[in-house]
Structure 1
């Protein structure tokens, strides 16, 4: 394998990263650190990792470069903080994290750092999957098992995104309806089963039927080439925008209005937003 060509890193970047690492270490220091930071564990920080990742995505969608830079900084903080917590517990260090991902990138790009040839993205993906399987000690046959791929999606992706991935992979393997009518029939079946489950007091059964209904909705989205995650995100944003307008229209806290009054404010906000499009 050919050696990695060194591309000089500007000193300012290294200085900025070093300062961030030092600040996080000081926040976690038993001598004069921050009580909140000192209480954190890898587990308690999980919600912040997820939240910051989503905020990066939201900023990228907005196209505002300052917001993207700020949210990437917040996400970077979570990486450094997780590494600091691990270092404090003598588990691993940020240096090991950086070295690990660097070596992985080199191993999985033999067409860049070695003698392999990859003329297109599909060949790159093929090399990546082969090398990844070898790293995990898996045989080529094991890597092709559908259940392994589906487990990985369920474990590592947000539920809606995982559901879409699982739906696509299952369909590609032959678990597919003949036409869209079959998907709608399944949706109506699952809706009926969910409504029936709600009549019982078995919360686990209700949850299971709700999950089945949501998964069928994901399949409908796939058939219509829609992204359920983006759809829900868009709805969330519209609800927030309408609530903001309602509060500008209102002369007192929304909690003091009747439902009928709130409905009128909602419709007014909805009409105004539609006119602004």
Structure 2
């Protein structure tokens, strides 16, 4: 099968999906649930499906990845259908907008700009973004967007990077470590004072400093935490396999023994 035939099959499959979604949203014989949905009501599903795609990718299960990408694609098509029903925009505009943006932001592919590495690609991308929005908002407005639209940990990573780029940066990593020690001490003091509101604020400051440390060492905080969560669950599963009774009935010393046994097995 040549590229043309493959593309034709892809377009037919996409068209079938668009027609199915349109039918689900049709006032004549459509689905009551789909008809009730708004752009806002669908937000949780977009977030959920995006995370499930990530989980499938990390599993390496190609069949699961394809399935989860389909669920995420459905959310894109459904959002566009809701907007079309409201007379705002449609899927054609969505596709055309992103196509034009990709061409515009890749002049080294679709134009005569020459680059030699991915760092230059990123630099050009940011420069073109600024040109697209000549009335650049204040830094605080940019950072507020991340705060509103991203999960807290991802928002902190973005905010940290953008603030550093604007000059809010330590001279060296030793300064970040000093800040970490300072925030850790303030968190402990807040806990000792039993002021939970203040303790929560200090915990946030401590976590934000950890994000900055990760940035200095070029580590991905979100991926690091996902990895820890996964390892914890894997070890817990092994503990449950070893256990001859519910884990809740074991002493803390016995649980520690099972934990170390599971950890040793996973580490090979």
1:216-270 deviations in whole A, cap 9, x for unaligned? 111222333322112101101011112222333344554x524535444433322
Q: How many residues align?
A: 262
Question: What's 2:232 paired with?
Answer: 239
| TM-score normalized by the length of structure 2 | 0.79
Question: What's 1:207 paired with?
Answer: 200
The answer to whether 1:193 aligns with 2:186 is yes
Question: Which aligned pairs between 1:1-277 and structure 2 lie closer than 5 A?
Answer: 8=4, 10-113=7-110, 116-120=112-116, 121=118, 124-125=121-122, 127-138=124-135, 142=136, 147=140, 150-198=143-191, 199-201=193-195, 203=197, 205-254=198-247, 256-260=248-252, 261-275=254-268
Specify which structure has the bigger relative contact order, considering alpha-carbon pairs within 8 angstroms and separated by 6 or more residues: 1
Q: Is the 8 A contact 1:49 1:78 kept in 2?
A: yes
User: Which portions of structure 1, spanning 4 or more consecutive aligned residues, are displaced by more than 6 angstroms?
Assistant: none
Select between 41-50 and 174-183 the one with higher mean Cα deviation: 174-183
| Local SS of the residue matching 1:91 | coil
| Local SS of the residue matching 2:267 | helix
Q: Is the 8 A contact 1:118 1:124 kept in 2?
A: no
Where do 5+ consecutive residues of structure 2 fail to align?
none
| Local SS of the residue matching 2:38 | coil
1:57-95 deviations in whole A, cap 9, x for unaligned? 333344433233222222211111222222333332222
- Displacement of 1:126 after TM fit? 5.1
| TM-score normalized by the length of structure 1 | 0.76
Select between 236-245 and 182-191 the one with higher mean Cα deviation: 182-191
| Local SS of the residue matching 1:10 | helix
| Local SS of the residue matching 2:114 | coil
Where do 5+ consecutive residues of structure 1 fail to align?
1-6
How many Å separate the matches in 2 of 1:92 and 1:110?
27
| Local SS of the residue matching 2:41 | coil
Select between 172-181 and 230-239 the one with higher mean Cα deviation: 172-181
How many Å separate the matches in 1 of 2:133 and 2:34?
35
Q: Is the 8 A contact 1:170 1:176 kept in 2?
A: yes
- Displacement of 1:215 after TM fit? 0.8
